[in-house]
Amino acid sequence: MSEDKISMNHGAGGEVMANLISSTILDNITKKSVNGGISLDDLDDGASIPLGDYEIILTTDGHTIDPLFFPGGDIGRISAAGTINDVSVMGAKPLAISNAIIMQEGFPIEDLDKIIKSLNETCEEVDVAVITGDTKVMPQDKIDGIVMVTTGIGIAKKGSVVRDSGLEVGDKIIVTGSLGDHGMSLMSFREGFGFETDLKSDVAPMWNIISKALDIGGVTAMKDPTRGGFANAINEMASKAGVGIVLEQESIPIKEEVHAVSEMLGIDPFEVANEGKVVMGVKADKADEILEAIKNEKYGENAAIIGEVVEGDYVVVNTPIGGERILEAPIADPVPRVC
């Protein structure tokens, strides 16, 4: 495709998308922050608006899932969870979301009913309200099924917001569960390759897990490893902080089913989207306590300490056979339209 046209890679969360945002979107917007808060230029999971002793955290996300219903969830659950998680990884308590729906003419009302109920149930898990929204219908030849856009709002005490750029040398890296579940489960399901597996999407709201870690203290950085997967998230965190990271491959939780599907398809599970996981940087003296707290929460039973922050410029993975490899950010997500 010509360089002056949008391709699927431009929305896939990797290097291609980052270049588009930097060159076309950021360069054409002048005012990008309010009251000196975290700005659009920071490209964190959300932005902040300082107000007195607090900071309001705001984030927005569009969802174009294929298929709309998949093992472990649907577009309603992922729309709610994805936005709640973007607020949560900023260290803010999520309060409410808005929801805009753009539907194809002829879309089944029964399916819409299921989707909205799923969105509501996901919000109820972490006591988040749905307070406003919008609904539009377009001709069948203009849109495929349904698109949902959710905006989330949360609150944090001033000075307590967690940035994805906050890693420091000596920090430990924690992932809150197994990687690759969402992207690989959707890929095997929608493409109909006939894999016999119980693999399901991990889509879930993460605030209860994150709040436990914040209560203990020592959380220096967090990121929601969605588009571009873990590889994109950990590289972005390291690059923004100007540090290196050493990971232990044997410590990184990946389910056998994910390994099997990824090997059949030739896709690296580190590069596919997760929708119910958090990558955390934590102070070394708090790491074991935080890990124990996470493992005792719903969705956190497979959490693990997987590496540490070092001086350097690269994310390096130590392999089980004694070697090492550099883990780079993907050019684009190899599994499009999964979030």
pLDDT tens per residue across span 74-87 = 999 999 999 999 99
Q: What tens digit of pLDDT does each residue of 238-290 get?
A: 999 999 999 999 999 999 999 988 888 889 999 999 999 999 999 999 999 99
pLDDT over threshold 50, residue 1: no
Longest CA–CA separation in the chain, Å: 57
What are the Cα distances from residue 168, in Å, to 41, 96, 231, 247, 282?
22, 32, 19, 15, 9
| Structure confidence by residue, pLDDT tens digits, 305-334 | 999 999 999 999 999 999 999 999 988 767
Residue 127, both tokens: 């006591």
CB-based burial label for 15 (10 Å; 0-12, 13-18, 19+) = middle
CB burial string 53-92: b at 16+ within 10 A, e below: ebbbbbbbbebbbeebebebbbbbbbbbbbbbbbbbbbbb
Residue 196: per-residue pLDDT: 60
pLDDT at 218 over 70: yes
Q: What is the pLDDT of residue 14?
A: 57
What size, in residues, is the chain?
339
Look up residue 251 and give its DSSP letter. Answer: G
Phi-psi region of 316 (alpha: psi -120 to 50; beta: other; left: phi over 0): beta
- Give the pLDDT confidence score for residue 197 in this predicted structure: 67
User: Residue 225 has what pLDDT?
Assistant: 96
- Does the pTM of the predicted model rise above 0.85? yes
Q: Which of 27-41, 208-222, 325-339 has the highest mean pLDDT?
A: 208-222
Share of the chain above pLDDT 90, in %: 78
Q: Give yes or no for residue 3 having a pLDDT over 70.
A: no
Distance CA 275, CA 272 (A): 10
| pLDDT at residue 10 is higher than 60 | no
